[in-house]
Amino acid sequence: MTNREQITIPPDGRPLEEQPKWRRDFPIDWPQDHYVARRDFTKFMVLTSFAFVVGQAWIVVQNFLRQRRGQPPIRRIAALNDLPIGQSLVFGYPEPDDKRILVRTGEDRFVAFGQECTHLACAVVPELDKQRFFCPCHNGSFDLTTGRPIAGPPRRPLPRVLLEIRDGALYAVGVETTMV
Ligand code: FES
């Protein structure tokens, strides 16, 4: 019995003998080619879905273990493609009320700090052209990459959020408070 998927059909449907010489010399098995493409696509979808499930399960287990050790959770912030270079994003970590600000400073460079100014808790805003976070309340400034105060009344640095890149997404994995 002939397997339908194995039949060679030239693109114009005419028998092989009527095909030009170049096509007879280099026949393309279209049904087989489409079959392989569909099979490879299905395989790809199954593998990526499996990898996603494993990744999510890994995060759940890690969070459980970290919780037992009293460590902050691992939380997904955004897909890398969703944050162009120079853009920022406010998120809550480890609790929704703990406002943090994430800035993409380069292709593979990200920084995230607490959004509250360490002087009197106004919200700071990133100014990439001046390489700083600026607090408009009393003209306080913090270094964009270290979070250290560089001008105005603040004396303490902004708490830094520790980041990890995993599977094309950015995750918050902890908060580091530097003492001066
Ligand atoms: S609250 Fe930021 S400088 Fe005063």
| pLDDT tens digits, one per residue of 9-33 | 677 778 777 888 887 777 666 666 7
pTM listed for this prediction: 0.67
| pLDDT tens digits, one per residue of 71-81 | 788 999 999 99
Atom of ligand 1 nearest to the CA of 124: 2
Q: Among 120, 127, 132, 134, say which to mutate for ligand 1: greatest number of ligand atoms within 8 Å of CB.
A: 120
Question: What is the third-level CATH fold of 72-176?
Answer: Rieske Iron-sulfur Protein (2.102.10)
Average pLDDT, the chain: 86
Report pLDDT for 28.
66
Boundaries of CATH 2.102.10.10 in the chain? Answer: 72-176
Q: Judge whether residue 38 has pLDDT over 60.
A: yes
Beta bridge partner(s), residue 141: 134, 151
